Amino acid sequence: MAAKKVLLLCGDYMEDYEVMVPFQALQAYGVTVAAVCPGKKAGDVCRTAVHQGIGHQTYSETRGHNFALNASFDEITANGYDGLVIPGGRAPEYLAMDEKVLDLVRKFSDAKKPIASVCHGQLILAAAGVVQNRTCTAYPAVKPVLVAAGAKWNEPDTMAKCTVDGNLITAATYDSHPEFISLFVKALGGSVAGSDKKILFLCGDYMEDYEVMVPFQSLQALGCHVNAVCPGKGAGEKCPTAIHDFEGDQTYSEKPGHDFTLTASFESVDASSYDALVIPGGRAPEYLALNDKVISLVKDFSDKGKPIASICHGQQILSAAGVLKGKKCTAYPAVKLNVVLGGGTWLEPDPIHRCFTDGNLVTGAAWPGHPEFVSQLMALLGIKVSF
C-alpha cells in the first residue's frame, strides 16, 4: 500500500504540543505530514502557545516554539491526503472564520476521511457544520459551541478523554495524545507490532520541552509502557521544561515550557525492568551528569546492551558515564567537546535533524530530528507500524 499522507491545519498561536507531537510522531511512523496555514507558504513560521493549568480558573498562556510550515495552503487539496489533523490553542477561533478552511474541512468530511481534532480545534468542525448528530468531546469551554452546532456532547471526565464517531476523532487536550494519535493511526489503516516494551525517560528540571514530550507520547501512542523519572522527585511531581529555539541570535533562545509530570520514582528504578532508556536534552543533562546514581543507571543500561536514545545535550550524561568510548555519535554541536573527550567518534549533524545508530546507541542533535530519532529507536526495539 502507498505511504499515507496527512494534512496538519495550522495557525498562529496553536498550542505548542498539539501541533508538534502529532506532526513528529506520525512522521516517525512513516506517515508524510504536510503542515499548512492560510496566508502562509512552506518555510514560513507560525507562532505557538504553551497552555497549561497552573491553579487559576482557566489555563495560562506563554509563548511556545516557532513552528515551521512545510507546505503552502494555497497549493493543497483535500483529495491529495488521507486524513486531517487539527491542533487546538487559540488559532482555531480565527481559522473558524476562514471560508477556505471550512471548505477544506467539509471536503475531508464528505469523503469520510479520518479527521482528528483536539482541544479548541473543534471550533473549526462546528463552524464547518460537520458535527451535526456526531458524538464529540473537546476542551470543556468548547461545549456550548459544539452543542449549538448539533453535536452530541461527551463530557471529558479527564483531560485525556478521546471520542470516536465514524471518521471523526476528537480529544480534550494534549493529555489525550497517546490515545488520540493511536486512534488516528488505526483510522488510517495502520497497525502496530512489537510495542510490548517498557521504556524509561531520564528527566530533570529544564530539560527541553519538545525533547521530553514528543518521544514520550510518540512511544505511548504505539502502546509502549513509558515511565519518566527524575532524581530527588517522585511519581506525580513535576519538572519545569525549557523551550530552546533559534530566533536570529548566535545561540538558541530560552523560554519557559510546559511543566512535565513524572510517572515513577527515581529511587525505585531498576534498569533490568526496562527495555530502553531515553535521555532528553536541554539544560538538565549538565547537572544530572554530576549525579552518581544517574551515572550508575546509565552504565547499567549500557552494560546490559539495552538501547539508549539520547538527544541534544543528553550526550553530556553519556560522556560522563563513559559509555561513548568506541561509539560513533552526534549531539548538539556545542556538545562535540563532551563527545570527543568522552572517547566518542564525532558525527557532524548536517543537517541538524540527522540522527545516527551505532549498536545499541541512538543519538540526535536537536528536536527537529525527532522523527528519525524515534524511528531509529523503534527499529532497535523491533516496533513496526504497517499500513
Count of CB atoms situated within 10 Å of the CB of 27: 18
Q: Where are the alpha helices (DSSP H) in the chain?
A: 16-28, 91-95, 99-110, 122-128, 143-148, 177-187, 209-222, 284-288, 292-303, 315-321, 336-341, 370-381
Per-residue confidence (pLDDT) for residue 81, from 0 to 100: 98
pLDDT at 1: 58
Considering the candidates 119, 162, 203, 230, report the single residue annotated as catalytic.
119
**If DSSP codes are grouped into helix, strand and coil, which group holds residue 45?**
strand
Known catalytic residue at 120: yes
Domain positions in the chain are: 5-189, 193-386
Q: Per-block average pLDDT, block size 10, for the chain (387 residues)?
A: 90 98 98 98 98 96 98 97 98 98 98 98 98 98 98 97 98 98 98 98 98 98 98 98 96 97 97 98 98 98 98 98 98 98 97 97 98 98 98
**SS3 label, residue 71:** coil
CATH superfamily name and code, 5-189 = Class I glutamine amidotransferase (GATase) domain (3.40.50.880)
258 is catalytic: no
Chain-centroid distance of CA 145 in Å reads 28
pLDDT of residue 184: 98
Please confirm whether the linkage preceding 351 is cis (ω < 30° from 0). yes
Picking from 171, 185, 156, the residue whose alpha carbon sits closest to that of residue 125 is 171
What is the enclosing helix (H) or strand (E) of 299? helix 292-303
Query: Which candidate in 312, 329, 355, 370 is catalytic?
Result: 312
Residue in 25, 379, 37 with CA at minimum distance from that of residue 184: 25
Indicate whether this model's pTM tops 0.95: yes
User: At residue 290, what is the residue type?
Assistant: L
Pick the CATH number of 193-386 from 3.90.1150.10, 2.30.40.10, 3.40.50.880, 3.40.50.10860: 3.40.50.880
C-alpha cell read off for 161? 478523554
pLDDT at site 200:
98
Which residue in the list 51, 313, 329, 355 is annotated as catalytic?
313
Is 10 an annotated catalytic residue? no
Query: Which residues, 6+ apart, have CB-to-CB distance to 2 below 8 Å?
Result: none
pLDDT, tens digit, 9 for 90 and up, residues 171-225 = 999 999 999 999 999 999 999 999 999 999 999 999 999 999 999 999 999 999 9
Q: Of these residues, 51, 120, 177, 370, which one is catalytic?
A: 120
